[in-house]
Amino acid sequence: MSQPQPVSSANKPRHVAIIMDGNGRWAQHQSLPRSAGHRAGVKAARQIVEACGRREIEVLTLFAFSSENWNRPKKEVGLLMRLFVEALQREVDTLNKNNVRLEFIGDRQSLSSALQKQIIQAEQTTRSNTGLHLIIAVAYGGEWDIVEASRRLASRAVAGELDINDIDKSLFRQELSLSGVPDPDLFIRTGGERRISNFLLWNLAYTELYFTDHLWPDFGVEALDEALDHFATRQRRFGQVPGVKPC
Ligand code: FPP
C-alpha cells in the first residue's frame, strides 16, 4: 500500500469533491456487465474514503447519483439503488468506528422509503464523529440545489421574515446543501470527460479542477495522491492579484 504523500497542510485541500465517472466503460473493457463496473466502483469509493481519512482531509463529497441519472434504464437505476442500500448496511459500522461523519445531500423525497430510512439512521449514528466528514450526493443536481435555496429564501420573504434587500451571497450560501462546510478546494473527475455535469455549481466557483482519464474503478490511492500533488502546486488567487492587498 502506498504511504501518504508529504503534502504540507498549507497545500492540502480541506475539502475534496469527486465525480466518480467511468464504471460502465471499465466493465465494458473487461467484457463484463455494467453492474460489475458499479460494484467495482463501490470498492474504489471505499478505498478513497479510507485514504482521505488517513490523509486528514476534512471533507470528502462523492457524486454517487445525479438528478439526471434517473433517466438511465430502469434496471440500472434499480441496481444502483440496491448497491447504495447494501453499501450503507455493510459500511456504516466501520465508518462509525473510524470516526467518519456521514451526510447525504440531494432530493431525498425521490428515493425509496427504505433508502431514506437508512440515510437518516446512518446520519444519526455518525453525527457526533469528528474525523472525515463524508458527504454523499444522491439524486443531487447543482441546479436543483440553487432552485431549492431560492425557493426557501422566497418563502421567507413572502412570509415577511426576510427583506429582499438582505439577500446576498452569504445568505444564499446558507440555504445550499453544503452550507455547513467550506467549499471544495479540489474537484476531481475521473473517466476522461472535462465537465462539471451539474455537480456543485455554486460551491465550485473557485475550486481547482482536476480531470483524469482513469476510469473510476481504477482510481486508486496513487491516483488520489497525484491529484493531491497537483493541487499542492496550484496558486489560488480567488480573483485577486497575488502579493497586492485589496483596496
Ligand atoms: C459513473 O459511472 C458512476 C455512477 C453513475 C454512479 C455510481 C457510483 C458508484 C456505484 C460508486 C460508489 C459510490 C458510493 C458512494 C457507494 P458511469 O456508469 O457513468 O460510467 P460510464 O461513463 O463509463 O458509462
Kindly report, residue by residue over 107-117, the tens digit of the pLDDT: 999 999 999 99
Question: Inter-axis angle of helices 74-97 and 34-54, to 10 degrees?
Answer: 20
Give the residue carrying C-alpha cell 450503507: 88
**pLDDT given at position 245:** 73
Catalytic, 21? Answer yes
67 CB less than 6 Å from ligand 1?
A: no
Q: Which three cell numbers stand for residue 218?
A: 481504477
Closest among 146, 236, 144, 122 to 187, alpha carbons compared: 236
**pLDDT given at position 5:** 43
**pLDDT given at position 4:** 42
Cα 100 to ligand 1 centroid, rounded to whole Å: 22
**pLDDT given at position 156:** 97
Q: For the chain, first and last CA: distance in Å? A: 49
Cα 20 to ligand 1 centroid, rounded to whole Å: 6
- Most ligand 1 atoms within 8 A of CB, residue of 18, 21, 77 to mutate: 21
- b/e string for 212-246 if b means 16 or more Cβ within 10 A? bebbbbbbebebbbbbbeebbeeeeeeeeeeeeee
Per-residue pLDDT of the chain (247 residues; tens, 9 = 90+): 344 444 456 699 999 999 999 999 999 999 999 999 999 999 999 999 999 999 999 999 999 999 999 999 999 999 999 999 999 999 999 999 999 999 999 999 999 999 999 999 999 999 999 999 999 999 999 999 999 999 999 999 999 999 999 999 999 999 999 999 999 999 999 999 999 999 999 999 999 999 999 999 999 999 999 999 999 998 777 777 777 777 6
Please identify, by atom number, the ligand 1 atom nearest to the C-alpha of residue 138: 15
Catalytic, 93? Answer no
User: What are the Cα distances from residue 123, in Å, to 89, 117, 235?
Assistant: 13, 10, 35
Nearest CA to ligand 1 atom 5: 65
**pLDDT given at position 10:** 67
Rounded distance, CA 202 to CA 214, Å? 26
80 CB less than 6 Å from ligand 1?
A: yes
- Most ligand 1 atoms within 8 A of CB, residue of 18, 28, 35, 38 to mutate: 38
Cα 21 to ligand 1 centroid, rounded to whole Å: 6
**pLDDT given at position 243:** 73
Please identify, by atom number, the ligand 1 atom nearest to the C-alpha of residue 28: 23
Catalytic residue among 11, 69, 96, 129: 69
- Most ligand 1 atoms within 8 A of CB, residue of 19, 79, 216 to mutate: 216
Pair 201, 142: CB distance under 8 Å:
yes
**pLDDT given at position 1:** 38
**pLDDT given at position 6:** 44
